[in-house]
Amino acid sequence: MKYHSFNAVLFCSLLWLSLPRQSLGAISEQDIKNLQHSTHYFRGLVGFAGDLSDQDLLFEKILEDRDAESIFMETIYSKHATPEAKAYAACGLSKIKSRRFQEAANNKENSTLNVTTMNGDILKKEKYSTIIKRIIHGGC
């Protein structure tokens, strides 16, 4: 009897793992729009209390999506995406080890944009090109 219950658990586990990631938490058009309207670029725990931002959580959700590369590239070239969204997109391309990261990094239209960032509890503006250099040399 134990052998059959083990097989059932193993079968269910393998079935769950084989499901497409998108069906477990699909990215909606609203999610993409929300990322593209980000007002800050914060990675990790920030602020006095050390919380994750809503944008960072959304970024992580998109990062796990099978279409992450196309979502991030769409954001890089979007005329409507904020500089902060473009920074998230560049970070995402780097994290998924996309061959298109260099294309995003070298985008001249974005290089002079100012991005609102936070390190610890210090809010500041940084050039997109500075963010790219940081991503290249130490990740994001």
Task: Please report the pLDDT score of residue 55 as a whole number.
Answer: 86
pLDDT in tens, the chain (140 residues): 444 444 444 344 333 334 443 334 588 999 999 999 999 998 877 666 677 778 888 999 999 999 999 999 999 999 999 999 999 999 999 999 999 999 999 888 888 899 999 877 788 999 999 999 999 998 88
Say which amino acid occupies 99.
R
Q: What is the pTM of this model?
A: 0.78
Residues 6+ apart with CB under 8 A from 119: 46
The residue segments making up the domain with residue 41 are 25-138
- Split into its structural domains, the chain has a count of 1
- Give a yes or no: residue 77 inside a domain: yes
Q: Is there a domain that residue 72 lies in?
A: yes
Indicate the SS3 state at residue 130: helix
Token duo for residue 21? 């990631």
